[in-house]
Structures are given as C-alpha cells and as structure tokens.
A and B are shown apart, each in its own frame.
Chain A
Amino acid sequence: MTKSNSEAPVRHPDIEIRQGEAGARVWISGAWDIRALESRARALRRRLADVTREVGGAGWDLSEVQRLDHVGALLLWQAWGKRRPGMLGLRPEHAVFFSNLDRDKERVGAPRDFDWLGLVRALGANMLLVVDHAVDMVRLLGQMLLDSLSLLTHPARGPWREISAGINRAGAQAVGITAAVGALIGITLSYLSSEQLRTFGADAFIVNILGIGVVRELGPMICAVLVAGRSGSAITAQLGVMRVTEELDALAVMGIPYTVRLILPKVVALAVVVPLLILWTSSIALLGGALSAKIQLGMAISQFVSSLPSAVPIVNLWLGVGKGVVFGILIALVSCHFGMRIEPNTESLGIGTTRSVVTSITVVILADAVFAVIFADVGISLT
C-alpha cells in the first residue's frame, strides 16, 4: 500500500539483530504488509517472540521496511507487548500505522460466561415463552375480530380481493401436490390393509378401513400438513419481511389496520380452502385405494363406490370438513403470529419460518386429538 523504495525490488519480511556500540538493535526490513505476511505470519510471530526474549530492551529500527500496513504494525506491536519500545527508528510515512495503536486498550471480549443454572433457566424461559406466544396469539385473534367488526356495517370495504388471491394461492395452486400425495397414501394404505384382510378373509372391510381412515383422519391431516408447509411458511415469511421493511407501519399510518388487510384474508382464505382441499384429497386417496383394491383383491371399483355410503356414515365427511375449517384457521393464525415476531435479520427469518411450520403442524395434531375425544362415538358404527 505505501509505496516506498519503489525502484528496489520488494524483499521478503526479515528480522535481524545487529550488535552496535549502543547495544543490540533489531533491524526489520522488507515488505511488512498483509500480502507478504498472510503466508508467513505464524513463523514471523515466533521469530519476533524469540527476538524479544533474546534482546529484551533493544532498540528497533524499521527504516528498512519497504512496505507497511496495519497488519505488519500490529504484529510488531504485539511483539513489543503493546507499547512503543524505548528506541524506535521509523520512516515518517509509516508513523500513521502506529498512531492508532497508541490508544488505551481495554479488551472487549465476547460475553461468554458459563451459567450453571442455564438449563433450569432455559426451561423456565421456554415455559414463559409458550405462555407469551399463547397470549399473543389470543390477542392477535381478538384484535382481528374487533377490527373486522366494521366490516359488518361496511361489507364493501372487506378485503375481498386479498381473500380471493389467498384462495387461489393456497387452494387452486395446491391442487396438484395434494392430489399426488393423496393418491400415494390411498394406494399404500389400501395395499397394506388388503394384505392383512385377505389372511382373515375379510376382503370387503377394505371399504370400511379406507373410508373411515381417509375421510375422517388421513385426508384432513395430510391436507393440513401440506398447507402448513406450503402456505403457512409463505405467510410467515411474507409478514416477516413486510414487518422488517416497515410496510406494516406504512399501512398503519394510512389508517388501514393490518389485521383486516393482511391477517383476516389469510384466515378466511385458509378456512375456505382447507375443507375443499380435504374433500379433494380424500376423494383422490379413496380413488387410489379403490384402484389398489381392484388389483390386489379383485374388487370392482363400482362395488367399492356403492358400498362406501353404508360403510362410512355421512357424518364422517362433515366431521372431516369441519376439522378442515378449524385447521385452516389455526394454521393461518399461527403463521401470522410467527410472521409478526420476525426480527430484522436473516437468521430470524429462517428460524421464524421453521418454528411457524413446526408449531402449525403440532397445533393441528393437538386439535385433531381434541376432535377425536369429543366425537369419539359419532360416525363410527359398531354394529
């Protein structure tokens, strides 16, 4: 960087002790810049340490240094024990690199003290965090409902466009993937069950197993998991970035409540879309199951379809669809809630999105368990 002796070829950094009349003097020469030092730093540090041990109070002469920068200066500075040696010969143009080093040094280390109660503390903090999340989510729901009250008197001001866009994104565009997953699950389940049923000669019960299993449980669950992964993560990331870029504040200062414009449409859209997706996925899964039953058990598809209504009471279908509405609302709320908590850095966005999806799926499974308990004796004929 500092070009001195520009005619002479640049030499490697070197250290030499010369004995003079006034005692030993350490001569530093050559290039002491980062380019020359990056490959030699370790060796030179050792050599410098040896030299300082050998001739402790010697004078230092840097006038033969061809290039110097902060890296070279700091290497020497550390060897001097972080203060100027008594005698120091220095080119005037190199003085600048030591001027900043003379300042008073306090070491600022990373705050990394070990906390013995850390585990207990972390457990407590996590419990409180869960409560905090729950309170926050209830508040978000309440705020959204309060803000939505005005829509009762002014329905034209409702976020209908946003709802429609949400339905398109979370529903129409998810038709392909839900169908593919549904079909695979139906075929697999049917294949495995039919193997078992055949050994008992209970082939006809494949309709019951598939019907109840898919319509009541699997269809809603698969859909909820897919929607949480697909739309939930997108919602969290979108709201998170909007929060970071102050777009939410921009909405607020225009007098547009973000709950009505951003959160309500997502909740409504998912509440509408998830039950529809469940119907779709369950139908495809049953179709796949029927196909597999035809191949495995030789059961005609028409027979499968015609025995379905008697094997699966219609209330199971309503139960599945009803669950879908609840799941949709839960996924939307959880995703929005996590989106609102994202902080302005890339790591937080990643963690927030992951947590949002994991929490959505967990919440959906919990809700499903609650449904199972409440409706334990509905729709399952034991005759």
Chain B
Amino acid sequence: MSAVPVTDETAADFARSAPVIEVKNLWTVFGEQVVHRDLSIAIEAGEVVSLVGGSGSGKTTLMRQMLGLEHPRQGSVAVFGIPLAGTPKHLVKKIRRRWGVLFQEGALYSALPVFDNIALPLRELRAFDEDFIHDMVMLKLDMVDIERRHAWKMPSDLSGGMIKRIALARALVLEPELVFLDEPTAGLDPDRSESFVSLIQSLQRSLNFTVVMVTHDLDTLVSLSSRIAVLAEQRILAYGTLHEVTAVDHPFVRNFFHGERGKRAMAAPAAQALIG
C-alpha cells in the first residue's frame, strides 16, 4: 500500500487496511496543564467506540484532536490512514468530507432554515443540482424521522430533540464513513434520549459507519458501544468491550460502572447481551 501514491481515488481505499483513526503518542498541553500524556489508541472500522472519563479527563479534547480542531504538542493523529498534521490541505479536506460530526448543542446554523442547514454540505460540493439536493435533504429528514413540514422552520423554533435529529441528518448528509457524536443524548429527556439512541443504532447497523462518541450517559454507552475507552490520568486507562473494561480495578471505573447508576444500566438486557 505504501507504494501507491495518495490520490483522491486511492485515499478512499486506505480505510480498509489501516485503522480508521490512529492516535500515536499524543501529547496535548494547554499552558502548564498536560491533558494527554503519550496517549495512543487505534479505532477499527465498523466499531462504535465510547470515550468515557471524569470531567476534565480530556475526552472532548481527544475528540477535538481527532477532528483536527486542536493540534498535538507531540505525537500524531491519523484518520483513514492520513495524518492530519503535515498533509496537504486538499487531502485533509477530503477526509473532512468523509466524516460527520454531531455537536453537543447541534450547532445548526441559526440564520438558516432546517433545509438549508442540511443542504449546505451538499451544495458545497457543487456536484448536484437543486432538484437532487431537495430529494436528498428530504430523504435524510425521513431517515431521522423528522416530518417534511419542518423543513422551512428556523432552528430557534425547534425543540432540543428535533435539533439533535436534524444535526444528525446534517452530519450524515455526505454519507460519512466515520461519525463523531459529542454527548448525543445530553439535554434530552429519557424518552427522547432512548429513541435517539435507537435511531443512531439502527442507522449505524444499516449504514455500517464507524462511531466515536463522548458520553456521560451509561444507558447510551451500554446500548450503543461495541468498545469503550476509559480516559484517566492523561492516558487511555482501558480500551475494550464493556466486559473487559469493567474488570479493570481503578477508582474511576469502580465509581462509574459499579456505582448505583452503573448497576442499573448494566442490569439492562443490552448490557447483559454485551457482557455475555
């Protein structure tokens, strides 16, 4: 593979051999504060990986590193086998089109109606006409169970649950192979949160994209993730299935998984199936 020059066409094929995301010996430092100390993790295609850790443990920062929104002090972050630092801009742009990001508050463009929010990435490609874009946006709205009559509403007129769904539709509009979810269920009531989780789950199963998510919510974590990465002490403390991770003896793990909330979530059928 190394002999093949990286072109637009071959770039698409890297995902098969290399891990989708490979973080090697990453150091993140803000001023005096070391957030990540020599952190490494590799995420394979098709996985649903949850990043968990106490507040301030650097999970969101790690996700921002993977997105190229923060820059490593040392070490490297490669997505689809292509390092984010030191790669020509137009290739990094190709990567950016192959992932979708769901921000915690949705980050819909407040000045644009729902339709234009979802259409924006498609229009940026300048490859499709308005008729196609219209059908595509409607298709994505159908996929996230948003009624079409909401298409011309402004984000400020929508409820939190709808904003999340529409933001998910926007994240999925370029058919990403990799989807980042930042606290996907934060701010949703239990009922909505459950239906949003099952929506993500069914989309992930049918479209088979890789998911990296940051979450605090044990129910979300248990029902969605195939692997869990625990961040503590500025590194990846444990990376594995729920069963493997819960076996680790560490104060954070004990607190998080074996506390009152943890026990309840683990008793759920989904968790039982995972632990086996």
Q: Can you name 14 extra interface pairs (CB under 8 A) apart from A71-B175, A100-B143?
A: A1-B208, A34-B174, A35-B12, A69-B207, A70-B136, A70-B139, A71-B128, A75-B132, A100-B139, A105-B135, A107-B134, A344-B156, A345-B111, A345-B154
**Which residues in window 82-135 of B have CB below 8 A to A?**
98, 109-111, 115, 125, 127-129, 131-132, 134-135
Chain A to chain B: the 10 pairs with minimum beta-carbon distance, closest first: A345-B110, A347-B111, A69-B175, A38-B127, A96-B206, A344-B156, A108-B148, A41-B127, A34-B175, A346-B110
- Residues of chain B whose beta carbon lies under 8 Å from any beta carbon of chain A: 9, 12-13, 16, 98, 109-111, 115, 125, 127-129, 131-132, 134-136, 138-140, 142-143, 148-149, 151-152, 154-156, 174-175, 177, 206-209
Highest count of chain A CB atoms <10 Å: which of B12, B13, B143: B12
Q: Which of B9, B115, B155, B174 contacts A110 (CB 8 A)?
A: B115
* A111 interfacial by beta-carbon distance below 8 Å: yes
* Docked pose: A216 CA to B140 CA in angstroms: 64
15 A–B contacts from the bound complex (CB under 8 Å): A1-B208, A3-B208, A10-B9, A35-B12, A71-B136, A75-B132, A77-B135, A100-B143, A108-B149, A108-B152, A344-B110, A345-B111, A345-B154, A345-B155, A346-B109
Interface of A is mostly: loop
Q: B128 and A41: CB pair below 8 A? A: yes
User: Would B175 and A346 count as touching, CB distance under 8 A?
Assistant: no
Q: Contacts A74-B139, A106-B148, A344-B156: A38 and B125 contacting too (C-beta < 8 A)?
A: yes
Question: Is A42 part of the binding interface, using a Cβ–Cβ cutoff of 8 Å?
Answer: yes
For B45, the closest partner residue in chain A by CB is A3
1/0 per residue, CB under 8 A from B, across A303-345: the answer is 0000000000000000000000000000000000000000111
B175–A33 CB distance below 8 A: yes
A103 at the binding interface (Cβ < 8 Å): yes
CB distance from B18 to the nearest CB of A (A): 14
Per the bound structure, the CA–CA distance linking A2 and B175 in Å amounts to: 10
**B152, A111: Cβ atoms closer than 8 Å:** yes
* A42, B127: Cβ atoms closer than 8 Å: yes
- Name the CB-closest residue of A to B128: A41
Decide if A1 touches B207 in the complex (CB within 8 Å). Answer: yes
When distances are taken between beta carbons in the complex, the residues of chain B under 8 Å from A344 are 110, 156
| B58–chain A nearest beta-carbon distance, Å | 27
Q: Is the CB of A347 within 8 A of B110?
A: yes
**Which residues of A have CB within 8 Å of B207?**
1-2, 69, 96
- Indicate whether A6 reaches chain B with its CB closer than 8 angstroms: yes
CA distance A346 to B155 in the complex (A): 11
How close is B78's CB to chain A, nearest CB, in angstroms? 19
A107–B175 Cα distance when bound, in Å, is 23
